Structures are given as C-alpha cells and as structure tokens.
C-alpha cells in the first residue's frame, strides 16, 4: 500500500517534467531547423549568384571565342610523348623545349631522327632512276619570317591589298613559330611546284614514301583540317609505323594524333 502511494506521488512529479523535456526538445528542433533553413537559403542564394555571374561572362564572350573553346581540339593542345608525332600547325606552336640535331643533305639541314630513312629513300629511288633533292629542310623562326615577308611583298607587288596579300601568303607559308620546318622533320622536295604532282618522282613517293616513314603532310582533301593548301612536295617524317597507319586510316597528322589520344595514348 505504501509502495502504491509512493509510485503515484513520483508519477505526479515526473510526468510534467517529462512533458516539459519533450516540449523543449521540439522547440529546440524547430529553432535549429529554422537556422538551418536560413543557412541553406543563403548558400542557395550565393550559388545562384555565382551561376548567374558565370552565365553573364559566357554570354558576353565573343562568339568566335566560344566556338573555338567548344570546337577546337587544339586549344591548349598537349603534345604526345613520341617526338616523331610532334604537331605544329597554325593553332599549335613549336614546343619551347624542342631541339634539332642537324645533319646536312643537299645543302639543307634535317634532324638526325629522320636522316637515315631519308637518305635510304633517296638511294632506293635512285636505283629506279627516280631522283630527289631537298629544296628546303630545317628553318629557324628568323628564316621563316624572311620567307613569309617575301611572299607577302610579292603579293603586294602583284596589286593585292595588304590584308589579302598576307592571307594569300599564309595559305602555303606558316607563321613564324608555327611551321613544321622548325621541327627538322619536314622537307620540301625537288621543284616545290604544283607541277611536281605530275612527275614520276611524285608517283614514286605516293607508292613508297610510307615504307621509309614519310607522309605527304598537306593533301587536297585535308585542307579544311590542316588549314594549308595541297602541297605535293612537302613531306613529313613520322616513322614507318605511324606512316603506315596514317595511310591505312587515310588520316592527316591532326586527325591521327587525336585518334591516338582517343585511344588513351599519351
């Protein structure tokens, strides 16, 4: 009997206390939730503001720049590790650390990396009474500047306006710092003329050049990719393996390096 009365007394004290604790806990949750809401709302507001600023920057960027960033795979291009596949074009300059080990052939310099295969190709062609000589090999940036300026002046003398004269010259002559000839891995052969395409020498190259690691760098059906008009006389050394693959895949160097990158080759 005494235990029952004691239990009732304790129950009358603890029930209000428990109810108070529960109510306090609920209120605390509401307060914390509210502050959490305010914090999250501020975070959302800041994120929205940042996104709006980024969108405004994109909207205000020139359309040509946007297209280049979105469509130009050679923007901030990273060279492949194989030096024989070094890419130099109007969008990709010669790497700053590039070095040429010169060797003389026909009064022109070429890089040692291709010297052996180039002389072997000339000797093989000579045995079939087909003759080649190097009209132009390695060029420094200074030499490229002189060549481009000369071509521009010739166009000016022909009556072109300055802008048109330079644009016309750049169709076949690269900007200084952006020429394959800086690599020492490119050669212009024989007469450096459109007529070269009609010669026995060109026909021999079309059949045998890849056997020695060479490809015609600028072809008529790749102008939209290379940015250079058809040059039947300009050959680039990439090594026998790559030359064979480029011919099999019908790819110019720009296409080939991107093809390799897609395969995960670095």
Active-site annotation, residues: 231
Contact indicator for 174, 161 with CB cutoff of 8 Å: no
Contact indicator for 131, 204 with CB cutoff of 8 Å: no
Distance CA 181, CA 85 (A): 14
β partners of residue 92: none
Residue 10 CA: distances (Å) to CA of 3, 5, 137: 11, 9, 105
Tokens at 146, concatenated? 């002189």
The set of residues, in sequence order, having a beta carbon less than 8 Å from that of 20 and lying 6+ positions away, is none
Specify the residue for token string 């990396």: 113
Q: How much of the chain is helix, strand and coil, in % rounded to 5? A: 60, 10, 30
């Amino acid at each position: 009997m005494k235990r029952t009365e004691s239990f009732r007394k304790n129950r009358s004290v603890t029930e209000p206390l428990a109810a108070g604790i529960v109510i306090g806990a609920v209120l605390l949750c509401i307060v914390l939730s509210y502050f959490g809401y305010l914090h999250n709302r501020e975070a959302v507001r800041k994120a929205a503001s940042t996104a709006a600023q980024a969108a405004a920057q994109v909207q205000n960027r020139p359309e040509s720049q946007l297209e280049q960033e979105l469509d130009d795979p050679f923007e901030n291009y990273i060279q492949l590790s194989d030096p024989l596949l070094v890419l130099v074009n109007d969008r990709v300059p010669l790497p700053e650390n590039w070095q040429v080990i010169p060797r003389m052939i026909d009064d022109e310099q070429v890089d040692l990396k291709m010297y052996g295969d180039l002389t072997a190709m000339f000797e093989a062609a000579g045995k079939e009474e087909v003759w080649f000589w190097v009209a132009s090999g390695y060029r420094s940036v200074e030499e490229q500047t002189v060549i481009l300026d000369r071509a521009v002046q010739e166009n000016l003398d022909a009556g072109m306006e300055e802008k048109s004269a330079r644009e016309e010259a750049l169709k076949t002559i690269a900007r200084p710092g952006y020429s394959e000839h800086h690599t020492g891995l490119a050669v212009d052969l024989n007469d450096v003329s459109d007529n070269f395409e009609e010669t026995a020498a060109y026909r021999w190259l079309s059949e045998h050049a890849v056997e020695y690691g060479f490809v015609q760098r600028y072809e008529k059906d790749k102008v939209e990719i290379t940015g250079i008009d058809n040059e039947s006389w300009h050959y680039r050394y990439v090594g026998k393996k790559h030359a064979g693959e480029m011919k099999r895949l019908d790819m110019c160097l720009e296409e080939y390096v991107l093809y390799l990158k897609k395969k995960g080759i670095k």
